[in-house]
Structure 1
Amino acid sequence: MKNVPTLDIRRYDTDRDAFVAELGAAYREFGFCCISGHGIDKALVDGAYDAFQRFFALPTETKMKYHVPGSGGARGYTPFKVETAKDSAHPDLKEFWHVGREIPRDSKFADVMPPNLWPTEVPDFRQFGYGLFEALDALGTRVLRALALHIGLPENYFEDKTDLGNSILRPIHYPPITQDDIPNVRAGAHEDINFITLLVGASAEGLEVLTREGEWLPITTEGDAIVVNIGDMLQRLTNHVYPSTTHRVVNPKNDNARKPRYSVPFFLHPNPDVVLDPVPECITPDNPSRYDSSITSHEYLLQRLREIKLI
């Protein structure tokens, strides 16, 4: 059985050509790879998970103070059974919070990137939440350098396209499943919207990726490895050379279904004004351009948020 590989990103500095080739091959095959050797402090990850769990344990009426109706959940709290995977009949069994990039309020993107909210009931939420945002943002930049080199782009191709990216850190709480006949999985089959997603330290099994052969492949990580997958925007920009692979979170078949599940994905987005046209390096006679109209990343994001019922 095939497995999504785990690659040590330190090899980018010691064995670059081989690392870039292996990473590129993993993404072309699966749209997913696990990254180890990233140097993100375990104390930061553990501290963030602890702060997030304390927030989700608060009474519903307290959490709802941080819900901003009509905002598409851009910042703050989104309650249970709101988000629905595209074309799914059932909403996802989760509640979540969004931390976004801190930008000057006179930035040209201030109208589409609102200021963060921080729950006063959990004083260290901001320190750990934004600390983890910045650590994963930096790691994502390193992964994108290798992805750029693999398709013949300059190493720093993505840097000025993501330095003000509308990226999101999303702490998620999936509650314990208490009924056996529940119709929906914890998170329905979907593809991510953004450039790449980095998932740090999921607390229970359940993540599965759909292979090219149409089989669901469980993703399990070892040690400190972080799961990194391609999103639809990067799929579009690379003319599907890097596929955005369907994945889901299923209910465990064991006692873990009766336990809460916490997970913290980081969705790395391009800057809102980046045009998502396929790059010439990914257009060939065998792979002609699949898109005949242009769209900015912000327009694309709004289109997708409507599809998943967040706006």
Structure 2
Amino acid sequence: MTFHVPLVDITPYVTGGTGAERAAVARAIDDACRTVGFIQITGHGVPAAVIAGLEASIDGFFGLDLDVKNTYRTPPEINRGYSPPKSESLSLSLGVEQASRMNDFFEAFNVGATAAHYPHVAHLDPIDYADNVWPDVAGFEPAVSAYFGEAARVARTLTDIFADALGIDRAFFDARTDHSLDVLRMNNYALPPGTDVTLDGDLIGMGEHTDYGIVTVLWADRVAGLQVLGSDGSWNDVQPAEGALLVNLGDVTARLTNEQWMSTLHRVKPPVIDGTIRRRRSAAFFHDGNVDALIETLPQCVDPQHPAIYEPVTVQEHIRAKLAGSRAGVRNETADRESARVLSSDRY
């Protein structure tokens, strides 16, 4: 069976389509969430100028000397700032790697929603809603902030579509995302000068993982590297269509739907050509939900034939266990279902 990521035009939800048009979009999204867990969306309304500003900012920051970039590092528990190559291992977020060494050669820069984004909420945890670290790169902060706002709008549009597709009130997601843990991670897959990375058959740009939250909105170069795990255990190359954003579900949504909707495993393995990694850039916006939101399976997704798979957990408990794996090298012991899928894939 040929692996295919569906392409869905969400214009009716962005510019105000008819009820019938929105219903057709919701059906298409529902089918994609049940069968693939990855979607390409067009009609998202993100201006080309905003995307161009994001690209220029990514190039400006990652073009700095490694010593300069390292001045923007933060402690592992603070999901902000710079992550150099081989400082993370995403597969440890699933508890897969037996060794604790950090393998992934990508470098990244994170910004996120701070306590100041949510003045209506008192006493937000300074670890989860940490202030951003802004690099001294011309135009970086306004350009990245502009894209962050657009990606947040798209993510919230998607949760409206999700609610319609699941037949629940849109207030369900609104109540769980009014101070959402939102993070934009800008990734650079290349080998900067001065890094100790060997080009060999085991080289991993970003290890096998599922995303952690409700939904991820991904802008990416149209360069090979992203691979998605199919239902048959095969890894499949995925590139966005021209002008499209990639969307995938996270673990929170899989838990809500009792895995009727899929939090799909994926990884990044950019090609090595003549001993050089072909550069690839991406920016993933993670819409994870309120830190104190309790994630419980929706009643309509449970019946005698399909009992609840997961115990209730707060977003904070779930996200911190995942981050402790990927950023601090602490093997996640709570991801048995996800790790079993990796271990049964063609990688092993």
Short-chain TM bin: over 0.9
Q: Indicate whether 1:294 and 2:306 are aligned.
A: no
Aligned pair partner of 2:72 in 66, 78, 95: 66
Distance in 1, matches of 2:110 and 2:6, equals 29
The answer as to whether partners of 1:166 and 1:269 remain within 8 angstroms in 2 is yes
Tell me the C-alpha RMSD between the 2 structures.
2.1
Q: Does 1:35 align with 2:41?
A: yes
Q: Which amino acid is the alignment partner of residue 78 of structure 1?
A: S
Report the Cα offset of residue 176 of structure 1: 4.2
| TM-score, scaled to structure 1 | 0.92
1:44-55 equivalences under 5 Å are 44-55=50-61
CA distance, structure 2, for counterparts of residue 277 and residue 169 of structure 1: 26
**Counterpart of 2:346?**
none
| Residue in 1 that maps onto 2:333 | none
Inter-partner Cα distance in structure 2 for 1:251 and 1:170? 18
| Overall identity of the aligned pairs, in % | 30
CA distance in 1, matches of 2:7, 2:56: 26
Determine which of 309, 325, 329 is the counterpart of 1:307.
Answer: 325
User: How far is the alpha carbon of 1:308 from its aligned partner?
Assistant: 2.0
Paired AA for residue 10 in structure 1: T
Is the deviation greater in 223-232 or in 147-156?
147-156
Alpha-carbon spacing, 1:103–1:256, altered in 2? closer, same or farther (3 Å): farther
Deviation at 1:254, TM superposition (A): 4.8
**C-alpha separation in 1, matches of 2:167 and 2:274:** 47
Q: Distance in 2 between matches of 1:163 and 1:209?
A: 30
Once residues 7 and 253 of structure 1 are traced to their aligned partners in structure 2, the CA distance between those partners, rounded to angstroms, is: 32
Query: CA deviation digits over 1:223-248, x for unaligned, max 9?
Result: 21110001111111221111111111
Aligned pair in 2 of structure 1 residues 253, 78: CA closer, same or farther (>3 Å)?
closer
Name the SS of the counterpart of 2:323 in structure 1: helix
Aligned positions, number: 308
Which residue identity is paired with 2:54? A
Paired residue type of 1:241: Q
Is 2:106–2:189's contact at 8 Å kept on the other side of the alignment?
yes
Structure 2 residue aligned with 1:4: 5
1:201 and 1:224 in contact (8 A); partners too? no
- 1: CA distance between counterparts of 2:266 and 2:33? 14
Single out whichever of 17-26 and 156-165 deviates more from structure 2.
Answer: 156-165
**CA 1:259–1:273 in 2, change beyond 3 Å: closer, same or farther?**
same
Q: 1:158 aligns with which of 151, 173, 198?
A: 173
Give, in whole Å, the separation in 1 of the partners of 2:299 and 2:42.
31
Shift in Å, 1:32: 0.8
Decide whether the 8 Å contact of 1:167 with 1:270 is kept in 2.
yes
Alpha-carbon distance, 1:148 to partner: 1.4
TM-score by length of 2: 0.83
Equivalent pair of 1:251/1:257 in contact (CA under 8 Å): no
1:132 to 147, 158, 162: 147
Give 1:21 shift.
0.8
CA shift, 1:36, in A, is 0.4
C-alpha distance in 2, partners of 1:219/1:5? 11
List alignment gaps of at least 5 residues for structure 2.
330-348
- 2:225 paired with 1:225: no
Give per-residue Cα distances to partners, 1:73-95, cap 9 Å, x unaligned.
41111111111022235511111
**Paired letter, 1:304:** K
- Is 1:75 aligned with 2:80? yes
Verify: 1:93 aligned to 2:105, yes or no.
yes
Task: Give the deviation of 1:107 after TM superposition.
Answer: 3.5
- Correspondence 1:113-262 to 2 at 5 A: 113-120=129-136, 122-176=137-191, 180-252=199-271, 254=273, 258-262=277-281
> Which residues of 2 match residues 6-25 of structure 1 at below 5 A?
6-12=7-13, 13-14=17-18, 15-25=21-31
Unaligned runs of 5+ in 1: none
